[in-house]
Structure 1
Amino acid sequence: MREEPTWRIPAGILGLCLGLALYGIAVAAWIAPLIARWHTLAQMPVYIALGIVWILPLRRFLIWMETGRWG
């Protein structure tokens, strides 16, 4: 365990919130109009995939927050 607090955790949380907000705005602005006329069941897999995609780079980001390294 860490002996001292680090600046990476609060900075990482703020960065994560900002990045997720920007991702949500981008999806709402660009993807939603493209698939708005599709049937609801056709839209569902797109939104499920987009809901999972943002998690993929999160592992390395959390490792950086804890250790300071990207790996």
Structure 2
Amino acid sequence: MTPTWRKPVGMLGILLLIVVWCVAIASLSGVVGGWHWAFQLLFYLFTGLIWIAPLKPMLRWMEVGSWR
């Protein structure tokens, strides 16, 4: 089996997603920092897990070349 171009492109896409997501969430730290600690905890737990959602279609595309 020969490697396809989808795997390196997918890996770069995943890294780009992580960087963009981190910058976006970190840019909100000034606003979120003024919240009660419990709301901060919920916000960071939610945003720390939600970025995983686009990974399943991306990984599927990397493997088989289809988004579905």
Fold shared per TM-score above 0.5: yes
Q: What is the aligned residue count? A: 68
- Taking structure 1 as the reference length, the TM-score comes to 0.86
Sequence identity percentage: 38
- 1:21 corresponds to which residue? 19
In structure 1, the gaps of 5 or more residues are none
Is 1:53–2:44 an aligned residue pair? Answer: no
Partner of 2:41: 44
RMSD: 1.0
After superposing on structure 2, the runs of 4+ consecutive aligned residues of structure 1 that deviate more than 6 Å are: none
Distance 2:54 2:39 in 1: 26
Give the alignment's TM-score, normalised by structure 2: 0.90
Gaps of 5+ in 2: none
Q: Offset at 1:33?
A: 1.6
Deviation, 1:37, is 1.3
